[in-house]
Amino acid sequence: MMGIRQKISHLSRYLHRSEWFIKLFNLTCHDQPAAPGLVLIQIDGLAYPQLQQALDKGEMPFLKHLLQNRQYRLHRTYSGLPSTTPACQGELFYGLQTAVPAFSFMDRESGQIVRMYEPATATKVEIALANNGHSPLLKGGSAYVANFTGGAEEPHFCPAALGWGLPLRRAKPWVLALFLLTHWLSFARLAALLVIEFGLALVDFLRGIIEGQDFFKELKFIPTRVGICILLRELATIGAYLDVARGLPVIHLNFLGYDEQAHRRGPDSLFAHWSLKGIDAAIGKIWYAAQRSQRRKYQVWIYSDHGQERVISYEERFGTPPQKAICHVFSKAGISQTLRSAPGRGDQTLRIRWFGGKRIQRLFPIFDDSGPDLDTPQPLLAALGPVGHLYLHHPLPRERQIEIAKLLATEACIPVVMIKDTPNRVRAFTDEGEFILPQQAAALFGDDHPFLSALGRDWIALCHHPNAGDWILVGWRKGRPPMSFAIENGAHAGAGPQETAAFTLLPGSVQLSAHGNPFPRAIHLRKAIQAFLGISATVAQ
């Protein structure tokens, strides 16, 4: 009887349309039915408290089903600093904490402000990560919509690999047409979702205009919202279907929709939480596809990289952009008033460039007026969120650096201004005085902060990063409302309780050890993945 069942199972597999297209797309397969496989799904920017709220309100019924009926466990995890996707993925994929000092920073080698959605920048950082002696986590697998490829052989929609990967880009037109025809129901559903999301985006556009938002920024947000929240999500889901059917050892997906909406409207907004319903449905489809796979024994793990704080922009709070306030400080200190900075528009609309088409690149160009002027000591600002980096090309004596830090805190009203001190120490300045980290972390961030024990150490690592600023500007401390140096309603990068509160949702059998720390982080998730897949922690010499 078992022999007949196995034959029927094999026959049904080979008759399945996924098998046809694996052959038509000339994709490789991995037939190891007893070997473990992992589908790793990232929900970008979703904080642990926001996930709990979504579960309580019924916005993520499949994740709730995993918790109640499939023996999954929810873990509260710490994002690390900076609380950004590149830093978290650098730690998860390559085992290196504080891989970057921020999402936007000055590359001291070139003297240019760079941003992690730029292909050249992401590639350069990843090459450095790959040379740190640790095995890339996604080797032999695939990656969708990630800042780094993680060593994946088939990256798709990543800064370093724009658009679909080579196997699908090389597919013959008639194969693509047949794929659309045989999946017409899925693509009809996708078209309906795009129409619905476009309608919601239009309503949101009108709401933004009524509230006094910039017309052209709101207009640009319509196609980016539809593209990132719906199209990228669905294309990544379709790709994961094929990869599961092929038996790839590890598959990583990043769903950007919630993070995109949260930056624009706030992490607790209705529009941000609306996107979670579609993400939940996509996870459910992938989970069931993974259970049906006959080429590998898959588990599906779900995690977030960081959360977000609801913020007010510096410009809205003080009526002037931070660049102008900083110019005033430098003028008072007798330094040139000219300040070069990256545009403070935020980074969200430019992630649509990851689709890779030349027309998209032209529609959403990267404007940069931040080139270096190495002949004058003009300050340079990189600030795309609640953590900013302020640079001088010609370093000042320590006394002058401290003087300007105090002026930035008192005259420019920056909540916290940090400068590096000894290798294991940072000096922090506020309008109330000077503090030393890590010893006085509680005085700055509150003794009730859930991750206080790690903050001091991580701020030291961030401030001592080779590409960190001469002054690190921090938009939040205890007793003050969170603030961003960019114009946005949701933000992350700093040490706020929400932006540092990530999560993992794992099968109950998985041990997520923090080695004495009550809240694990990406490095512990990495170790759990390596143990599950049976891969080495270091690169073979």
pLDDT of residue 4: 54
d(CA 39, CA 276): 19
pLDDT of residue 370: 47
Nearest to 48 by CA among 522, 502, 505: 502
d(CA 451, CA 386): 18
Question: Residues 268-290, buried b or exposed e (16+ Cβ, 10 A)?
Answer: bbebbbbbbbbbbbbbbbbbebb
Cα Dmax for the chain = 88
Instruction: Assign 3-state DSSP to the chain and report helix, strand, coil percentages, each to 5.
Output: 45, 15, 40
Nearest to 86 by CA among 95, 97, 99, 96: 99
Cβ(467)–Cβ(106) below 8 Å: yes
d(CA 292, CA 9): 11
The amino acid occupying position 518 is P
Return the structure tokens found at 108. Answer: 């001291």
Beta partners for residue 56, in sequence order: none
Q: What are phi and psi of 341, to 5 degrees?
A: -155, 155
d(CA 374, CA 392): 9
pLDDT of residue 379: 81
pLDDT of residue 362: 53
Task: Give the pLDDT means over successive 10-residue stretches in the chain (541 positions).
Answer: 50 55 72 94 98 98 98 96 97 96 94 90 94 91 95 90 67 65 66 71 71 67 74 90 94 95 92 94 96 94 98 95 92 76 54 59 53 57 94 88 96 97 95 96 96 94 97 96 94 97 96 73 96 73 32
Cβ(79)–Cβ(387) below 8 Å: no
Rounded to 10 deg, the angle between the 85-94 and 119-130 helix axes is 30
Return the structure tokens found at 337. Answer: 């008033």
d(CA 144, CA 129): 19
d(CA 381, CA 412): 14
Return the structure tokens found at 468. Answer: 């960190």
d(CA 533, CA 36): 6
The amino acid occupying position 187 is F
Q: Is the peptide bond before 450 cis (omega within 30 degrees of 0)?
A: no
Q: How many CB atoms lie within 10 A of CB 426?
A: 22
